[in-house]
Amino acid sequence: MHIGYILVIPIFVQVCRVQAQETDTLAGSTNATVVRTLDEVVVSGSYRNIISRNAAQPVDVADGTFLTWHFTGNLVQTLDNMAGIRSMDIGAGFAKPMIRGMGFNRIVVAENGVKQEGQQWGADHGLEIDAFSVERVVVRKGPASLLYGSDAMGGAIEIVPLPVPPGNRLYGEAVVLGKSVNETLGGSLMMGVKRDFDGRNRHTLHVKARFSEQHFGDYRIPADTVVYLTQRMPVYGRRLKNTAGFERDASLFAEYRRRAYYANYAIGNAFQKSGFFPGAHGIPDASRIRDDGDSRNVEMPFSTVNHLKATTRQQFTNGKGLIRLDLGFQHNHRVEWSLFHTHYAAQPVPAKDADKELEFSLSTASAAMRAEWSAGRFWKHTAGWDVQYQRNGVAGYSFLLPAFRRFTAGGLWLGVYSPNERLTVSGGLRYDFGEMTTDGYRDAYLEQYLRERGYPENVVEAHRWRSYPVERRFGDVSGALGAVLQVSSSSTVKVNIGRSFRLPGANELASNGVHHGAFRHEQGDGSLHSERGWQFDAEFIFEEKSVRMTFSPFAGWFEHYIYLRPMGEWSVLPHAGQVYRYSGAEAVFAGFEAELSVDVRHNLTYGLSGEYLFTHNADEHTPLAFSPPASMRNAVVFTPVKNLRLVAEVQTVAAQNRVARNEDRTGGANLVHCSVSAHFPCADLILSARNLLNTAYFNHLSFYRKAEIPEFGRNIQLLIKVPFIVNK
């Protein structure tokens, strides 16, 4: 299916008998009623309150309304509007999440109960998830190792489906997206059918399918020049050449319920192709960055990523609890193409796929089982285990990540004690075992290069391995203890302390070579221990009719935090710069998030949110790299009539001068955003303007920050969503 077909769907839908007034139930509001059937027991209440009540650590919920109002076509950039969540951007449309200064393999993204597994280790790798298909997101800030094991010490982002819609119906939606900053044209079409066989929502079949596509051109920046290794280069027409691309996603989801049995099945495929700006990839020259007159073509260098995922959930319930099994298989295939180039005269042009710079092929199989039950009036217990196996293959003339095999398994127990409606105490323990095996790769061309230049044998031996052979086993314990106290009808206090850990990644143990996207020589250390630390979280919530306020302080101490340490020595590899080695250090995290919402009048609301993070490397006596700066948002929301919403926002980003050694400082900025949202009987329209004043600023976490490439300029975006429901 081509995107052109999607664009005509809204016209077709208008001919249909549209019943859009019913779509609020499907859109998913945090104030909507959630119904869970356990035989004859029905539990209802606010979804946000249910999640918050059972979680001693801060939890945010992005419902369908939030996701629509802040939609960008990219899930992570959409969540960037939440306090404590930051987007590490990679060019035009790809990004990875960061929670409270932790990202990469320290954040778990889970969909349908299965962890998303791609190339999280690199700053230049995005998250392959269709943003159009996301219906609701739960963000757990702070340690989530108890629930998800390794890779969740910084938090978790859970993508959860909405409840099954009531009654028999055929329904769907068509969405059209347009952006001015890079001439994005995108769309998505979803069709679903719900069949209730007994009229009581206890024997049902629900199936929905979605197809999404986005095409974008070279994006505009408010700058005429960029810098690469102190060399200033022009940006013709203020557009970054070769940053165009497209994304195409397809998915099918089915769920079936018959009394105590529930099952769902999901399969999806996400494909992305995007160019790299030649001035930030490889060794550029003036001819490579010159305008070619076509803002939508993709030339070398570019990347393609295909992520195939299939999952299923099998669940049985009774009056006292449930047992659930989640199974998943994923295959992530990433290829980067760049005209063949070599630093070694003896290296010949490959006979096949000569311009394939690197290829990663990661397959992941996983299984997780959970049992939940009540013990008496006050206790609820959860016990379970999970297991995962990964195999990664590599190819190309300049890969960095080694081929590896990874196996992990863990078991957990979690208890929740609720003696009354005001107090909930929770605690649990988990043990995980992990095994990592990496394949060594001996680079004969590099070895010859070093010998020809007269390096001693010990230097040749140390550097001829592009990846080291490593075989390691790890075992570690995580745990948490917390409480939620309803102080009054309007005040809630949460406290939580947890011990978390993370197994080292293959790149941290075994890599040895130039990471072109990061402009440095990175070396792994096969003797690294797992990351371990203690984290404390608290949250104070005050909510009355016209005022809602939250304050969430946190602190963490890590006895062995893995980071890239600058070694103060130049690499013997050509054009590699300084050597950075993965090392363990004592580290400290501390900070807070704060939010305030005040209804000034019945149709006027003022919102304020802000965050601050302090990081410290106790061994180096410096901050940690990639620490997001403090930021604040002031927003005014005006609703002159029921279905019209006007928003004006000023986003203030402080300068980041607390940086790691050899990390660039970043100046602050004030950005102005505004939007108009209108709900009609047949459609929803959201017109927004980001960076309205076309301010030049840098995202301290951006992949392109090293080359002094600023963020997007002014972006006018239009989102049209046409839902429909046909009751039978």
Residue 695's pLDDT band (boundaries 50, 70, 90)? very high
Is 628 within 8 Å of 84 (Cβ atoms)?
Answer: no
- Dist. CA 631–CA 615, nearest whole Å: 15
> For a pLDDT cut of 70, what percent of the chain falls above it?
90
Query: Is 431 a domain residue?
Result: yes
Res 21: pLDDT: 39
Handedness of CA 463, 469, 473, 479 (dihedral sign): positive
**Nearest by Cα to 551 from 489, 596, 607:** 596
Residues of the domain holding 566? 3-345+356-727
- Dist. CA 625–CA 247, nearest whole Å: 31
Does the pLDDT of residue 43 top 50, yes or no?
Answer: no
Residue 140's pLDDT band (boundaries 50, 70, 90)? very high
Residue 564: CATH number of its domain: 2.40.170.20
| Token pair 């974008």: residue | 216
Per residue in 413-470, pLDDT (tens digit) is: 999 999 998 999 999 999 999 999 999 999 888 888 889 889 998 888 888 888 999 9
b/e per residue, 669-699, with b = 16+ CB within 10 A?
bebbbbbebebeeebbebebbbbbeeeebbb
Res 201: pLDDT: 72
Does the pLDDT of residue 722 top 90, yes or no?
Answer: yes
Token couple for 25: 């139930």
Q: C-alpha angle 641/643/644, rounded to 5°?
A: 70
Does the pLDDT of residue 114 top 70, yes or no?
Answer: yes
Query: Is 351 a domain residue?
Result: no
pLDDT mean over 295-300? 92
What DSSP character marks residue 349?
P
Query: Could you tell me which residues are beta bridge partners of residue 331?
Result: 308, 363
Query: Is 167 a domain residue?
Result: yes
Query: Is 350 a domain residue?
Result: no
Handedness of CA 460, 466, 469, 470 (dihedral sign): positive
Residue 497's pLDDT band (boundaries 50, 70, 90)? very high
Residue 120's pLDDT band (boundaries 50, 70, 90)? confident
- Dist. CA 696–CA 556, nearest whole Å: 34
**Stretch among 101-110, 117-126, 530-539 having the lowest mean pLDDT:** 117-126
Length of the chain in residues, anyone? Answer: 728
Query: Is 697 a domain residue?
Result: yes
422: which residues sit within 8 A by CB, 6+ positions away? 485, 486, 487
- The count of domains in the chain is 1
**Stretch among 174-188, 260-274, 439-453 having the lowest mean pLDDT:** 439-453
Does the pLDDT of residue 318 top 80, yes or no?
Answer: yes
Proportion of the chain in helix, strand, coil states, percent, rounded to 5: 10, 55, 35
Does the pLDDT of residue 10 top 70, yes or no?
Answer: no
Does the pLDDT of residue 91 top 80, yes or no?
Answer: no
Does the pLDDT of residue 351 top 90, yes or no?
Answer: no
Position with higher pLDDT, 648 vs 161: 648
pLDDT mean over 391-395? 95
This prediction has a pTM of 0.90
Is 155 within 8 Å of 142 (Cβ atoms)?
Answer: yes
pLDDT mean over 238-264? 94
Query: Is 197 a domain residue?
Result: yes
pLDDT mean over 114-119? 92
Res 284: pLDDT: 59
Q: C-alpha angle 612/617/623, rounded to 5°?
A: 45
Mean model confidence pLDDT for the chain = 88
Residue 22's pLDDT band (boundaries 50, 70, 90)? very low
Side-chain-facing half-sphere of 161: CA atoms under 13 Å? 17
Query: Is 340 a domain residue?
Result: yes
Does the pLDDT of residue 112 top 80, yes or no?
Answer: yes
Does the pLDDT of residue 285 top 80, yes or no?
Answer: no
Query: Is 413 a domain residue?
Result: yes
Residue 728's pLDDT band (boundaries 50, 70, 90)? low
Q: Other C-beta atoms within 10 Å of 227: how many?
A: 13
Handedness of CA 64, 66, 71, 75 (dihedral sign): negative
Does the pLDDT of residue 674 top 50, yes or no?
Answer: yes
**Stretch among 149-153, 202-206, 409-413, 720-724 having the lowest mean pLDDT:** 149-153
Does the pLDDT of residue 357 top 60, yes or no?
Answer: yes
Is 413 within 8 Å of 433 (Cβ atoms)?
Answer: no
**Nearest by Cα to 684 from 32, 1, 71, 59:** 71
DSSP string, 612-657: EEEEEETTTTBPPSSPPPPEEEEEEEE-SSTTEEEEEEEEEE--B-
Does the pLDDT of residue 2 top 80, yes or no?
Answer: no
